[in-house]
Structure 1
């Protein structure tokens, strides 16, 4: 009797999940689409508000935290052009 009761509960939970997912899945999808639209729209707005630089103009967006350079990076290699 306990086995039949367990199988009945599993089947009941399965069908309950199917019914609830049909009801709430469209709502969750609308919510996810709205959030993605806000995120991408915000990026587009931010990009539109930034001033446009002239062609060839150099701008620095981020200044590095350290002011020292690492001289032990590697060896300098001078390449020659072969004709």
Structure 2
């Protein structure tokens, strides 16, 4: 059976502190790179969505029918009716 020693406890505390500062240092190095990649990816997605919307608007504009002139067709003779009380 092992017993806890003061030297072992100090060693463990020092290892935890070193590990904490190592992670903190690595995070400071890589966090800006990760954020930059995320922002670039979001920008690319927004640009693709805008491009799709713009292309769809162009298709609608191209597919829409040109204004046709209204023609007044003479279907028949106009009859004016009068009401009888």
Q: Same fold (TM over 0.5)?
A: yes
Runs (5+) with no aligned partner, structure 2: 1-6, 65-85
Q: Does 1:40 pair with 2:46?
A: yes
Runs (5+) with no aligned partner, structure 1: 55-83
Provide the TM-score with structure 2 as the length reference: 0.58
Q: Would you tell me which structure has more helix in proportion to its own residues? A: 2
Provide the TM-score with structure 1 as the length reference: 0.60
- Give me the whole-angstrom Cα distance separating, in 2, the residues matched to 1:44 and 1:18: 38
The equivalent of 1:9 in structure 2 is 15
The equivalent of 1:52 in structure 2 is 60
> Any runs of at least 4 consecutive aligned residues in structure 1 with deviations exceeding 6 A, and if so which?
none
- Give me the whole-angstrom Cα distance separating, in 2, the residues matched to 1:30 and 1:11: 29
Aligned residue-pair number? 54
The equivalent of 2:24 in structure 1 is 18
Question: CA offset at residue 18 of structure 1?
Answer: 1.1
- Give me the whole-angstrom Cα distance separating, in 2, the residues matched to 1:2 and 1:40: 54
Question: CA offset at residue 52 of structure 1?
Answer: 3.0
- In our comparison, the structure showing a higher alpha carbon Rg is 2
